[in-house]
Structure 1
Amino acid sequence: MDRISALDDKVLGRIVSLLPLKEMLRTSVLSRRWRRVWTAARAFDFTGAEVDCFDVDVYISRIDSYLDQLSASSSCTDIHFIFFPGIQDPQAADRWIRFATDHNVATLVFDLRIGRPVRLSFSSFQLCRSLTTLEICGYIMPRLAAYPLGPAFPSLRSLSLYDVTIADPRTFFAQCPVIERLTVEFPDDDRDHLLPASALRSCPLLSTISLTDCTVPREPPSAGPPAFPSLRAARLENVRVAAPQSLLDSCPVIAELTIQSPPEGFAFRLDRRHTVSTLRIIGRNFPRLSLPSLSPSLRTLALCDLKITNPPALIQAFQGLEVLLLKRVRIEPGADSGIQVRAPRMRHLMVQDSKGLGLVAVTDTPQLCRLFCWGDIRHLRVFRCAVPKLEEAFLHCMVKNPYGGKYYLWKNLMQPLSHVRLLSANWWFICEGVLLGVRS
């Protein structure tokens, strides 16, 4: 017997767990010793069962056969991970959930990428005490009644729902008392998917949340204010929030906030009470943005595809900034243009395709280490002695011959960067500078 075959079944099971399903099953023909080794694996991705299978019934029966063999094997006790491909057969899905329940599965994935949504039964989850990670795509979450034995998901730490409709969010999340990471992407259709903030009141350990395509409605006073005592990171994409300031105020320890495709009128203020250190706002169709705030805790600010109402006040409001990213940022018509970068702590400055913003003047950034500018270089100016610690600068101009042959303008931009250790400029700069230098 070779050395690998002499290993314990548990060790071999961990090895074959790394293989795709097709290769995992092929190990059974190596020898009599390997005939049942695959049943000791701790991770199964059953998407491989659909290879060369165009009949749904055959596809389902094939997976059922694999599960029957696993159930009959004494080596198969605890399974760490199972990925089930999505099917539109709720009875088969219920059987597979029961299998996961019986084998103490910790991570379970149901992925229905195509077809109409299917209502998924959760009666089998009642005894699934070991489930810590659950990911479901393309199903309808029915109303859940309170279980006599306690929550349906007593150990669930991470929950991801994609293209999922939740019939009763409040009752559903009450079954997840220890959840820490939550991702919910509602179907991108014409319906208004409501997710009341009070529905998550039963999840006090929630630290990371990501919501897409839903509405957080205004609730009656009887519901009480929202409360997220442990929330550290939040991402909202195309989410309409009736009271965004109240929602933000209910997150006393939040450090990272990402807002993508905010609707018109989405407004909030950051002040000294808030602990947000990273703020990302990514627009769509250039919505109007106002940031009349004073937040000393903010360290990273990224703005993309937005119109800013008061650019000169942007840096003044966030004097603690260390990283600033401006990508395709414009000014509101009639507003003062340009930004004067005077930030004592700023270490990274990135400006991309933001000529509609006006002049970006780097005047006083003693800690700046990296400068990135991509677009019309004529809208960037670096003052002498403004960047004593600058180590890297990347300048890529999208306008050919930007200074029209005026060498002194090119020199005014590059001279303050003469001490930079790593300097990259595109060929339009280099060719123009060399040619004009020869002429002079």
Structure 2
Amino acid sequence: MKFPGSVLVSLFLFVAETVAALYLSSTYRSAGDRIWQSLTLLFALLPCILVQFSLVFIHRDLSKDRPLVLLLHILQLGPIVRCVEVFYIYFRAGRVEEPYVSITKKRQMPKDGHSEEVEKEVGQAEGKLFTHRSAFSRASVIQAFLGSAPQLTLQLYICILQQEITAARCIFMALSLLSIVYGALRCNILAIKIKYDDYDVRVKPAAYLCIFLWRSFEIATRVIVLVLFSSVLQIWILPVVLVNFFAFFFHPWILFWQSKCTLPENIEKALSKVGTTIVLCLLTFLYAGINMFCWSAVQLRLNDSDLIDKSQNWCRLALYYILRFFENAFLLLMWYLYKTDVYTYVCAPLLVLQLLIGYCIGVLFMLVFYQFCHPCKKLFSSNISEGLVLCFKFFCYVCRPLTSDNSGEKADLKSPADDPQADYKASESQNGNAHQSVSSNA
């Protein structure tokens, strides 16, 4: 049975970040900064409440007679209780004989073109541990992008305004960044396991390392770009954030309305249509929050029972990163043009270049992951290298008519009447013809 290490990591980040946020808010209160104190508490408590709801919803505690567990969730102690329950199940497993086991069928990764189906017995304890790990993974994603991401942006913005980085704020920002990267990593792993649910997926350490580096560069540069832009153009950051957020929030709903399908009914049997709609709205809210800072690794399909599009669309992935790169470049350009005296001792061109290169390094690690380290790369109908070749051919095809048209225009513009050498050659030929005619007459 696999050791539940992901549960420990999720609990550590949850508790450490909450404690750091409470301590930092107390320092803001003692300094008289009521606005920073309120925002810090808001970004700390809001994800905590959503994490409790997600844990209760996944474990279906409302339909069970467990008043003590519900009380502890109300007191924001749900993750601690769940972690204790996980290790109680883990260390007790094997001592008592399982009353029944379930049999699951998973296909192995194809070897030499063949894929075998393997049956595996799953005991009751292992099934409970799987549910707990899945719940903590989803809780980590919620904590990362609805709490840690805005919290990191806020604290970095305060550092720039006050031109001071305290030890407590530095530790808090490091924890927030680690929480966001871990949440993005869990989002990648969840997307892989949902897309390839029929296969026995095993993620290797090299894949974890590639995802960690990819997400670290991508998220860190994105947060710094947003903070730099907001520090010089405070009013214009609001339209940028709202356009990004609502574009990703409404996109799944627009596709759903265009398909003219009904809402999926197997999300939760006890939910009505109104409850299902609320759950889907919260899901798209989280989806938009993820895409604000990084690629979500999934595409929502609200008319599907799995709620995720399982097809691998390289064009959508490439379009996202191209648009995000140009958006970051534009925001950095605006910051460079309107930077204030706060950045007197900062080499602005070098900082812009470093951020753009950092984002490109993140994209490079993403390409390495999909090309070499993806656990299901053998199932891809096409890989990253083929996609890059197709993109290169497409750009060459687009640019070729332009070059041919320009060369034709140049040929038309360069007429013999405007070329003195052509006039000289024409006069020489005429003189030669005249001499020939005179000699022939003679």
TM-score range for the pair, normalised by the shorter chain length = under 0.3
Pick the structure with more helix per residue: 2
State TM-score, norm by structure 1: 0.21
Bigger Cα Rg: 2
Q: TM-score, normalised by structure 2?
A: 0.21
